[in-house]
Amino acid sequence: MTDTDAAALAERVREGDLRLYELEKHADADTAAAARRLLVAEHSGVDLSTSGAYAFDAADAESNVENMLGAIQIPLGVVGPVEIRGGALSGEHYLPMATTEGALLASVNRGCAALTTAGGAGARVLKNRMTRAPAFRVADVAEAEALSSWVRDNVGALREAAESTTSHGELKEATPYVVGNTVFVRFGYDTKDAMGMNMATIATEEACDVIEAETTASLVALSGNLCTDKKPAAINAVEGRGRTVAADVSVPRETVEGTLKTTPEAVAEVNTRKNLVGSAKAGSLGFNAHVANSVAAMFLATGQDAAQVVEGANAITTAEVDGDGDLYVSVTIASLEVGTVGGGTTLPTQSEALDVLGIRGGGDPAGSNADALAEAVAVAALAGELSLLSALASRNLSSAHASLGR
**CATH for 169:** 3.30.70.420
Residue 104 has pLDDT above 90, yes or no: yes
Residue 298 has pLDDT above 90, yes or no: yes
pLDDT grade for 404, boundaries at 50, 70 and 90:
low
Catalytic-labelled residue, pool 229, 248, 305, 375: 305
| 139 and 103 share one domain | no
pLDDT of residue 399: 52
Q: Is 379 exposed, middle or buried (0-12, 13-18, 19+ CB in 10 A)?
A: buried
- Report the sign of the C-alpha dihedral through residues 78, 80, 84, 90, in that order: positive
pLDDT grade for 203, boundaries at 50, 70 and 90:
very high
**Residue span of the structural domain in which 143 resides:** 134-221
d(CA 59, CA 56): 8
| 396 and 262 share one domain | yes
171 found inside a domain? yes
The string of pLDDT tens digits covering residues 14-29 is 999 999 999 999 999 9
Q: What percent of the chain has pLDDT over 90?
A: 94
pLDDT grade for 136, boundaries at 50, 70 and 90:
very high
| 145 and 107 share one domain | no
Q: Is 390 exposed, middle or buried (0-12, 13-18, 19+ CB in 10 A)?
A: buried
Q: How many domains does the chain have?
A: 3
Name the nearest CA neighbour of 104 among 264, 255, 328, 297: 297
The string of pLDDT tens digits covering residues 208-233 is 999 999 999 999 999 999 999 999 99
Q: Is 305 a catalytic residue?
A: yes
105 found inside a domain? yes
pLDDT of residue 189: 98
Cβ contacts of residue 76 below 8 Å, gap of 6+?
96, 97, 98, 301, 349, 353
Q: Is 289 exposed, middle or buried (0-12, 13-18, 19+ CB in 10 A)?
A: buried
Q: Characterize 299-330 residue by residue with b for buried, 16 or more Cβ atoms within 10 angstroms of its Cβ, and e for exposed.
A: bbbbbbbeebbbbbbbbbbbbebeeeebbbbb
Catalytic-labelled residue, pool 28, 269, 320, 401: 401
pLDDT grade for 397, boundaries at 50, 70 and 90:
low
3-state secondary structure of 242: strand
pLDDT grade for 406, boundaries at 50, 70 and 90:
low
317: left (phi over 0), alpha (psi -120 to 50) or beta: beta
| 334 and 258 share one domain | yes
Q: Name which of 2-6, 46-50, 247-251, 258-262 the model is least confident about.
A: 2-6
321 found inside a domain? yes
pLDDT of residue 1: 57
| 206 and 314 share one domain | no
Decide: 333 and 308 in contact? Cβ < 8 Å.
Answer: no
Decide: 10 and 39 in contact? Cβ < 8 Å.
Answer: yes
| 68 and 109 share one domain | no
Amino acid symbol at 366: A
| 99 and 146 share one domain | no
The string of pLDDT tens digits covering residues 40-71 is 999 999 999 999 999 999 999 999 999 999 99
Catalytic-labelled residue, pool 28, 101, 170, 205: 101
pLDDT of residue 398: 46
| 98 and 246 share one domain | yes
pLDDT of residue 118: 96
pLDDT of residue 252: 97
Indicate the average pLDDT of the chain: 95
7 found inside a domain? no
Q: Is 239 a catalytic residue?
A: no
The secondary structure of residue 194, as a DSSP letter, is B
The CATH code of the domain that includes 299 is 3.90.770.10
Q: Which helix (H) or strand (E) holds 206?
A: helix 197-214
